[in-house]
Amino acid sequence: MSPLAALRRMHEIAGAPLLIASFLARLPMSMALIGVLTLVTTETGSVAAGGLASGALALGEALGGPVIARFADRLGQRPVVLLASLVEAVLLGALVAAVTAGWATAPLIGLCALAGLAMPQIGPLARARWISIATRSPDRDRSVSAALSVDGVLDETGFVVGPAVVGVLAVVASPAAGVVGAAVLVGVFGTAFAVHRSALPGTRPDPHSDRLWRVGLLVLAVPMLCQGAFFGGATAGVTAFSQQLGRPDLAGLMYAVMGVTSAVAGLLMASVPPSVGLASRLRMAAGALTLLSAGLIVASGTWGLLAAMLLLGCAIGPHVVTIFSLIERAAPAARLAQAMTVMLSFLILGQSAGSSVAGTLAERFGPQGAFALTTAAAAIALIGSVALVRSRWYAPRPVPGPPAPVEPVHTS
C-alpha cells in the first residue's frame, strides 16, 4: 500500500473532520511542555524553575494518562475525554494566571503536575478508535497498518508543529500565548473529538481474558523506554550542537527534517507485505536505528548533522509504528486505549530521563556525549527486540464474521 493509498484508507476509516479534530486536540501535549518551560523561565528568570515546571507536567501526564485511558475503556471515551478536556483547559488557564501573578515555584510545580494528570490522551485513544473501525474491514491487517501509519504521521507532525506554534506565539504575542493557545485547542478540539459519533463505548473487562499485563505487552516497555531515551538524547545533542555552532536557531530545523523523513517512512510501513512479521520488522527497525544514530556522533558541520538527521528519521517512523502495531496485537481489546497510554507513558518517562542524562553528558563531553546516549538507547532497543520479543505473542486478532442469517419463522 503506497503512502497515498494509506492516506485514502485512513480517510475512509475516520473521515476528514475526525482526523482534523484528533490532530489539533493532540497538539496541546507538545505545546504545553515547551510553552510552560518558556513561560516559567521568562517570568521567573530561572531556567531551573522552568525545567522543574515542565518536568512536573510531563511526570503528571505519564502517571495520569493510563488512569484516564482506563476510565475511557470502562465508561466510554465520550464522557471521560469531554471532562478531561474541559478540566485541562481550565488548569492551563489557571497556570498562566498563577505565573503572571508571581506565585512561588513550589505551588507552580504542583499546578503543573495537576495539569499533566488531567491531559486527555488523544493520541492513544484515537489509535484505539481507528483500530476498532479498521478491524471491521475484510482486509483487516492492511487497514490497521494504514491507520497506525497515518496516526504515526499525525503524532510526528504534532511534535514538530506544536513547539513551532509556541515559538511563533511567543515572538508575535507573549510567552503566555503558547500555553493559552494550548488551553483553547484542548478545550475546543478535545471536546469535538469526545462528542464525535465514533467515540468508543465503555466495556466491562473480563478479569481473566482481559488481563492487561501480558508478557507480550510487558516486554514492549523496553523498546518504548529506549525510544524515549533516544528522543531525549537526540534533543539534547542537537541543541548542544547548534549552540556550539553559534546557531541555536537551527535546532528546530533539524528536528523538523528528522520529523519529515520519520513521517514518510512511517507511512511506507503500510506497504510492507504481511509475510514480514511484526517481530522481524521491529528488529530491522531497531537495527537501522542503531546504525544510523551512530552517524550523529561522527557528523561535522551543519550540513553533516542535517544529513544524519535526515537519514535517522527513516528508522524512527518504522520503529514507532511497529511498536504500536505489536501493542495492538498483545493488548486485550477491552483495554486497548489503556495499554496504548501505558506504553506512551514509558516513552515519556524514557524521554524525561534521557533528556536529563544527555544534558549532563552534553555539558561534560559536548554534543557527542548526548549522541552517544542516543546510540546506546537504540542498541538496547535492538538487543531487547532480539532477546525478548517473540512472534507467538502477537498473533493477528480474528476478523469478526458477518452476522448469522436469521431463520424465517413459519406459522401454521
pLDDT for 400 beyond 80: no
Residues 190 and 235 in one domain: no
**Quick one: pLDDT band at residue 288, thresholds 50, 70, 90?**
very high
Instruction: Say how many C-beta atoms besides its own lie within 10 A of residue 77's C-beta.
Output: 26
- Contact call for residues 329 and 215 (beta carbons, < 8 A): no
Query: What DSSP designation does 327 have?
Result: H
State phi, psi for 101 to the nearest 5 degrees.
-80, -5
Handedness of CA 395, 128, 347, 110 (dihedral sign): negative
Residues 28 and 128 in one domain: yes
Residues 5 and 60 in one domain: yes
pLDDT for 82 beyond 90: yes
Residues 178 and 245 in one domain: no
Residues 238 and 380 in one domain: yes
Residues 14 and 35 in one domain: yes
**Quick one: pLDDT band at residue 205, thresholds 50, 70, 90?**
low
Residues 303 and 333 in one domain: yes
Count: domains in the chain: 2
User: What does pTM read for this prediction?
Assistant: 0.74
Mean pLDDT, residues 110-134 taken together: 87
| Nearest alpha-carbon partner for 229 in 337, 351, 134 | 351
**CA distances to 52, 241, 279 from 382, in Å:** 32, 26, 11
**Quick one: pLDDT band at residue 386, thresholds 50, 70, 90?**
very high
Residues 138 and 259 in one domain: no
DSSP labels, 147-172: HHHHHHHHHHHHHHHHHHHHHHHHHH
| Nearest alpha-carbon partner for 276 in 325, 313, 317, 312 | 325
Who contacts 53 (Cβ-Cβ below 8 Å, separation ≥6)?
36, 37, 40, 105, 108, 109, 112
**CA distances to 9, 132, 133, 227 from 139, in Å:** 11, 13, 12, 30
Among 8-12, 45-49, 368-372, the range of highest mean pLDDT: 368-372
**CA distances to 324, 370, 393 from 234, in Å:** 21, 7, 31
Residues 62 and 82 in one domain: yes
Range of the domain at 294: 212-393
Distance CA 198, CA 184 (A): 23
Q: Which residue has the higher pLDDT, 411 or 9?
A: 9
Tell me if residue 43 falls in helix, strand or coil.
helix
**Quick one: pLDDT band at residue 209, thresholds 50, 70, 90?**
low
Distance CA 6, CA 3 (A): 5
Residues 170 and 220 in one domain: no
